[in-house]
A and B are shown apart, each in its own frame.
Chain A
Amino acid sequence: MNTVIKVENLSKQYRLGQVGTGTLSHDINRWWHRLRGKEDPYLKIGEANDRTQRGNSDYVWALRDINFTVQHGEVLGIIGRNGAGKSTLLKILSRTTAPTTGSIKIKGRVASLLEVGTGFHPELSGRENIFLNGAILGMTKKEIKQKFDEIVDFAGVERYIDTPVKRYSSGMYVRLAFGVAAHLEPEILVVDEVLAVGDAEFQKKALGKMKDVSSKDGRTVLFVSHNMTAMKNLCNTIMYMQHGKIVEIGQTDTVINHYLTHSEINSEMVQSFAKPEDAPGNEFVKMKRIEALPILANPFDPITIETPINIEFEFWNYVPDKELNLSLHLYTPTEECVFNVYTDAKLLPEGLNKGVCEIPAHLLNDGIYSVSMMIVAERAYSLYNFEHVISFEVNEKRGISGWHGKHAGIVRPKLNFNFV
């Protein structure tokens, strides 16, 4: 094994807010300090980059003291919430901006796919743009000529090759752009969220190409995405970042699980409490247990889109004189409500009660879902809402298609959809 990227004490500071007269005074102050041989006064300040909290300083550290190495042929996935510093890191690596302190040492040529289609000129034809784009990405004319047919073939735009790209559909545009980038032959490929664009067929092609690049050609790939399925399929190693720092680097499944656990939603599939004194709730109701129970032949199998899941909820009731009903909300990680279902309202005895909601197979798409359970009195007001108490992940059924991307849609019901 051979280290191809070595990142040492890398930090990047950004100044927030508008550039205006304040900038000039800071610049003058900075220059005055430098003139007297002193350190930049604005480097000492700055805070961790947590976009959810309003900071006091105009300066933030998008990256703070990052250290890691990447081996030859490794596919490193970088995950983290928005603003964790992933893109900043890739930008420094692809030299579109310089670090504030620290260094990166690299062996081999780096090419970035920060956004496909960079430098495409709408007025130029597909052919002209292939050459221009290839040259921007660092290929020589000769190299592009050699790859030209392959690129056109990959993009599937032969008919339109001499049409200005402004006449292309967005899909064709992206395919052509990715085609050029994918046929570069860099030793290190940096990819940021290319999978967010394009149709299913293209995503499959793009991911397949990336896989080829790493496994067949032995190239190193750095890959940022929010698509955990793609991450699991492609990466040997995952780096989890938060607020400009590395939380963990390690084996793909382990780190992804930690990442999902660390997010604000409870990632446990069960919560249970032995005594009402310790349990969450209030004077009307207390939660004893809530659990997502997949119905699996083998308990160690993963939950897939073909697995029925029961949500069981046990609670202590202290209001036997009121008609109660349960209301269950199922959410995606982005807080979209998939559905809200409820029981009939009825008078329940004091003490333990239990409700079960059966989620059938072939309803949910693959992804992570969280459950909120609300207890409603008199069909009118909420006694308590146990928000995001449990969550579970539904996996893609592997092997049904060669496609590694995510199917579109929040639900994926199995409907009668046949040729007749």
Chain B
Amino acid sequence: MNHYNSEGETWDLEIKPKVSLFSLNLKEVWHYRDLMLLFVKRDFVAQYKQTILGPLWHVIQPILTTLMFLLIFGKIANIPTDGIPPVLFYMSGVTIWNYFSGCLTATSNTFVANAGIFGKVYFPRLVLPLSIVFSNIARLGIQFGILIIAILYYALFKQVPVVFGSQWLLLPLLVILMAGISLGLGIIISSLTTKYRDFSVLITFGIQLLMYATPVVYPLSFLSNKSYAWIIYWNPLSAIVEGFRFALFHTGSFTYSSLLYPFIFMIVVLLFGAMYFNKVERTFMDTV
């Protein structure tokens, strides 16, 4: 029956035990872009079905967190805020930090949470963590909106001038850095979790600990003479959070060159993460 088959035949697809570490198949991910958008929509719509307040929760949560920080770190611990009104200081920190923690928590759970789908159909697995990063951008957008309202409120009623300038162009860059780092770390952890669930335990309190090692509730300048300051300097997220405040309020000890380190860090975790994810996605159904 196979008269027409010759050795030089072309196949559309070859399923093999191992693939090259770098065959990321981004072209295939692009082919599934509609799916990515639908996942974004699903995440967004399904989360607030059967809640009364719906998407309002995106607003309430950062406001309550800001008030809590204001009380504990501002009033009780009396930590300075770099000359920024404390509400704006905490709210800006919470906004960018929530984006990171939201992305990381969700992406690090990719394999385990979606084992049901992954076990039955094939689509490029990378679509899911990517969709999470995008759906969180929508959330970031809402929270950023509230932050803008707060800034305008302070400008109108408290005579705190809005510092609008070219440094605002930094914002998208900072969001991309946050997205890249959380995606990279998230897919590494999700890959590890398929075999060793220990990492899913680690991630919940790990993110909390990391927040205190990042200048979210205190300014970087506060640490200038402290012996433990090196921890915060080695944290690639420090420069991003600090940069976020610099872009909005033009204060703090931020320099443009400090973003080089988070940038390199992002490239490294993304490359390593993609390689590892790529290796694990092919057989994770056997171990998950």
Contacts and interface: CB of A to CB of B under 8 A. Distances in A.
Interface in A89-137: 91-112, 114-115, 118-119, 121, 123-124, 128, 131-132, 135-137
A69 B2 contact: yes
Interface string B57-99: 0000000000000000000000000000000000000000000
Top 7 A-B residue pairs of the complex, sorted by shortest distance between their CB atoms: A95-B122, A135-B35, A98-B282, A105-B11, A123-B49, A104-B15, A118-B120
Interface stretch (B38-46, B160-168, B230-238, B255-263): B38-46
A2 B4 contact: yes
Given A124-B45, A131-B38, A94 B121 contact: yes
B22 interface: no
Interface in B101-155: 116-123
B120 A114 contact: yes
A309 B4 CA distance: 51
Nearest to A119: B117
B16 A112 contact: no
Interface of B: 1-2, 4-5, 9-18, 31-32, 34-35, 38-39, 41-42, 45-46, 49-50, 116-123, 195-196, 282-283, 285-287
A273 B150 CA distance: 97
A141 B34 contact: yes
A353 interface: no
A100 B31 CA distance: 28
A71 interface: yes
Contacts of A218: none
Given A69-B2, A123-B45, 20 more contacts: A1-B1, A3-B9, A19-B195, A23-B287, A95-B122, A96-B120, A97-B282, A97-B285, A98-B16, A106-B13, A112-B121, A114-B119, A119-B117, A123-B49, A124-B45, A128-B41, A131-B38, A135-B38, A137-B121, A140-B34
B46 A121 contact: yes
Nearest to A27: B195
A106 B17 CA distance: 15
Contacts of A136: 35, 117, 121, 123
Contact of B13 (A27, A105, A135): A105
A307 B191 CA distance: 60
B195 A97 contact: no
A15 B32 CA distance: 32
Nearest to A125: B45
19 contacts: A15-B287, A94-B122, A96-B118, A96-B119, A98-B15, A98-B17, A98-B283, A99-B16, A103-B14, A103-B16, A105-B14, A106-B12, A121-B42, A123-B45, A123-B46, A132-B38, A132-B42, A140-B31, A141-B34
